[in-house]
Structure 1
Amino acid sequence: MARITAALAVIPLFAVFPSMEATQYVVGDDQGWNSDVDYYSWIAGKTFHVGDSLVFSYTLGDHNVVVAANSNVYDKCATTPNLGVWTSGSDVLTLPSTGTYYFLCEFHCDFSEQRIKVEVNS
């Protein structure tokens, strides 16, 4: 009677699926979230992935973070409809899924372009 032996190949998980660590981005870097930063330049060249987070640091009461519901709201610097408004002065928002997210400051979006559009990849 022939005996068949199944070989079990063990492949390290990290070799098959490279590790994807989330990145935390401080919006505006050392300048933070304020009306003096060129956010179009700040976001240029950055690649965002699901699970990454954005840190919005600003002077409490001078700014806020509105997550606009869509591009029309973002383009008009409107605040409604929105997916949330943050006002703590140190807001950490995690990018939960692929797609486009729109962030703006309701106090300074119109005249200083204090807003960013983030494309999130898988």
Structure 2
Amino acid sequence: MARVSTALVLIALVVVFPSMVLATQYVVGDGLGWSGDVNYDDWVDGKTFYVGDVLVFSYIATDHNVVLATNEDNYNNCVASPNLAVYDTGNDILTLNEAGTYYFLCSYHCDFLQQKVMITVN
């Protein structure tokens, strides 16, 4: 009886909360992390992001940060949105809670090193 109940709960979780059960965690930039040494367009290529997935920005806190841009024009021009959060811990963990496009950049190195990434969430 306990096995049947456990199985039913697991099935319900997969059906009702698939993003929670199937969420993927991505370390942005993989082994190089959030740095000026990564082409983030290449890093995103071939990845599909879903609501519930998690991004981990790993970097030296005194050298970088993670800020958001509100739209593609601001992203392309490295303009951070002043009213949005600034992450600067060196190990920022962000859950993608809504479908749409997210624009992340380093306010220190966006212009010079193109340290920015655009994530489209399904």
TM range (shorter): 0.7 to 0.9
Unpaired stretches in structure 2, ≥5 consecutive residues: 1-7
CA, structure 1 residues 74+31, in 2 after alignment: closer, same or farther (shift >3 Å)? same
Provide the rounded CA distance (Å) in 2 between the counterparts of 1:81 and 1:119. 22
Q: CA RMSD in A?
A: 1.9
TM-score, reference length from structure 2? 0.82
Unpaired stretches in structure 1, ≥5 consecutive residues: 1-11
Match of 1:77 in 2: 78
Number of residues of Structure 1 aligned to a counterpart in Structure 2: 110
Provide the rounded CA distance (Å) in 2 between the counterparts of 1:82 and 1:68. 10
How big is the shift at 1:81? 4.2
Select the structure of larger CA radius of gyration: 1
Amino acid at match of 2:118: K
Q: Percent of counterpart pairs with the same letter?
A: 55
Match of 1:25 in 2: 26
Structure with the larger helix share:
2
Partners of 1:69 and 1:82 within 8 A in 2: no
TM-score, reference length from structure 1? 0.82
Amino acid at match of 1:30: G
CA, structure 1 residues 82+36, in 2 after alignment: closer, same or farther (shift >3 Å)? farther
Structure with the larger strand share:
1
Q: Find runs of 4+ consecutive structure 1 residues off by over 6 angstroms.
A: none
